[in-house]
Amino acid sequence: MAASGSAVGLGNIWKFPYMAGEYGGGAFVLIYLVTILCVGYSLLVAEIVIGYLGEKDAISSFEALAPKKNVGWKYAGFMGATGLLIMTFYSVVIGWILYFVIQSVTYLPTTMEAAQAGFADLVGNQALTQIGFHLLATLFIMAILLKGIKGGIEKTNEILMPTLVLIILGLLFYAMTLDGFQQSLRFFFIFEFAKINSEAITQAVGHSFFTLSIGMAAILTYAASLPRRTNIVKAAFWIVLVDTAIALMAGLMMYAFIFEFKQDPAAGPGLVFISLPVVFSQIGTLGVIFAVLFFLALAFAGLTSAISIVEPTIEYTMRRFQWSRLQATTAASAIFFIVGVFALLSQTAAYGAIFTFGGMPLFDILDKLTTNVLLPLGGLTVAVFVGFVVRKERVYAAMSDYVSKGFFAVWYFTVRFIAVPALIFTMLNLVGIIKI
């Protein structure tokens, strides 16, 4: 449940729908689903294996499993720092969501122009308001992390995950009664191959890692706390199934509303903050309830992922520096809060120029660096380590009680000869060496 909470986050409900809109609907969804099936699942199992066998923080687990002559592999564990970097902008977005939970009760814009103006004003002019909600999100995350994996993270997910699913299902069932739902189905599941290009592939691969929390040591850290005799193959399957199902349900639900009320499906990152509030306002009083429920679901999704993103850094500092959980949590939270303030200021009119580099705001730099570079690089590290460095017999021992030799052989081949080339292709595409 905790790992599913890590996987199910803003990537499913905020990022996946707007990326599908930007990159051709069904074409993007097809690439995303193929990546999840052929690469995502295999690498999720691989990362779980590292944590399950290592039983430590990311750096210590890589150290423990690498052959003695390959001591350099301990540095691979620093991919856990990617999560802390993601949190610098992720917590800002959670702050926006908390703001919209409150705003939805009192005001929903009735036109796209009003919605765009309101969101632009929040991001561009209301720095103090953003910092306040960013701080509130940080405090929520800290409160859960201070209780640890068993006492805080797992118990929180036992409440928030079922609540999230119920809210999304309720909104989806209502959306299915709308005429726009048929358009939504066509948008997501009619694959126009002409719209597939190198950028769409790169974004889909990067997002599959983002949404499954692969390559940032979050899943590895959770796996280190698993009891022995856990069926890690089955656990990974359920994580992928829940994650993918919620992404598709959220997308279908949102675009049913979008098409029903003739809004722009390619609205970009502002889709949930601009288009949906207008849609909800047109439903009347019921729309206010839907808006509050939707943003609460979005907040729950963000919080369950956020706590997993920070946990690898906390586990490492506790083990290596003998810090208490309070010290480690406070230090990590202070880092992502402070850098997050700079990230949100980079989008404001008053301070944007100070925190813009190479024509790109710090917020966008952090987003693109982590999603398109560091996460695929972390996934490649996991694939190479499990596929070529750790002894095959040791890997098989972790899975042998739950899978046949045939299944293991296919999975092992996928990690070595599908995941690794696919990720190398993604990295080469990013630097412009390969283009489609």
Strands (E), 253-379: 356-357, 360-361
Torsion angle defined by CA atoms of residues 34, 245, 371 and 189, in that order, rounded to the nearest 10 degrees: 50
Please check whether residue 435 lies inside any domain of the structure.
Answer: no
DSSP state of 76: G
Please check whether residue 436 lies inside any domain of the structure.
Answer: no
Q: How much is the pLDDT for 417? A: 94
Q: Is the pLDDT of residue 6 over 60?
A: no
Any residues with CB less than 8 A from the CB of 250 and at least 6 apart, and which? 12, 13, 16, 17, 168
Q: Is the pLDDT of residue 129 over 70?
A: yes
Q: Can you tell me the mean pLDDT for 73-90?
A: 87
Please check whether residue 235 lies inside any domain of the structure.
Answer: yes
Q: How many domains does the chain have?
A: 1
Residue 6 sits in which domain range? Answer: 2-430
Q: Return the CATH number at 181.
A: 1.20.1740
- Predicted confidence (pLDDT) per residue in 154-212, tens digit: 666 677 677 777 888 888 998 899 899 999 999 988 887 777 777 777 777 777 777 78
Please check whether residue 193 lies inside any domain of the structure.
Answer: yes
Q: Is the pLDDT of residue 144 over 70?
A: yes
Q: How much is the pLDDT for 93? A: 92
Nearest to 213 by CA among 1, 5, 433, 419: 5
Q: What is the pTM of this model?
A: 0.84
- Predicted confidence (pLDDT) per residue in 347-367, tens digit: 999 999 999 999 999 999 998
